[in-house]
Amino acid sequence: MSRPTAHEVLAAVLQIRDGHLQVLAWQRAREPDAGRWALPGGRLRDDEDVEASVRRQLAEKVDVREIAHVEQLAVFSDPDRVPGPRTVATAFFGLVPSDADPALPADTAWHRLADLPPTAFDHALIVRDARERLRAKLSYTNLGFALAPHEFTISELRALYVGALGHPVSATNLQRVLTRRGLLQPTGAIAPPGPSGGRPAGRFRFTDRSLRVTDAFAVLRPPGEVARSAVP
């Protein structure tokens, strides 16, 4: 006899916090997997599509309304991915700008992907896939806009790319690549000098804060690896 199938939506919400790529999760209080950390989400209602559902649940459950970008990641349909009735999950990933600090419930927290605590069900797999999607899209789209505040210095932008990509990035080459693609616009403002003084840094913004492909074949690789439009 076939088992009834339920449908849920989940969201891997990522942000660069304190220089590290982090994911939002809440701690389950009940079995199964009590005490483990889970991605926000829940059952799909009959009157909504999957994207409307994930946006609603993020707003209701974890008060994350400052998401700059959200997109469908994948469908996770292993028959045994959760105990009990079969549950298919449509997973999304979302990005929160680095200058946002959403209010969170007491059972919810940000976690570094490099030190992810034990997660419920297959949620660690979803987080991994979200990280890989982000890294890929930073290469060939303008998705950096969703990690960055509205205005930033090149040094600040470089730090965000380093946190997301997980390898060193040259600020000079990053500026050259993004400028060549027409993605950066000087604001005319100057950042205050740091503690050591030095030449004041100009502030920039992204020319477009909606997703678009900018170089379909580009790959941002670590230093020493040759790639078209690479940022060493």
DSSP string for residues in 59-93: IIII-----SEEEEEEEE--TTSSSSSEEEEEEEE
> What Cα–Cα distance (Å) separates residue 84 from each residue in 55, 80, 120?
26, 8, 14
With a pLDDT cut of 70, the percent of the chain lying above it is 92
Using one digit for the tens of pLDDT, what is the confidence trace for 56-85?
989 887 777 789 999 999 999 999 999 989
Structural domains in the chain, CATH included, are: 5-137 (3.90.79.10), 141-206 (1.10.10.10)
Name the pTM for this structure.
Answer: 0.91
What is the pLDDT, as a whole number, of residue 223? Answer: 64
The answer, yes or no, to whether residue 198 has pLDDT greater than 70, is no
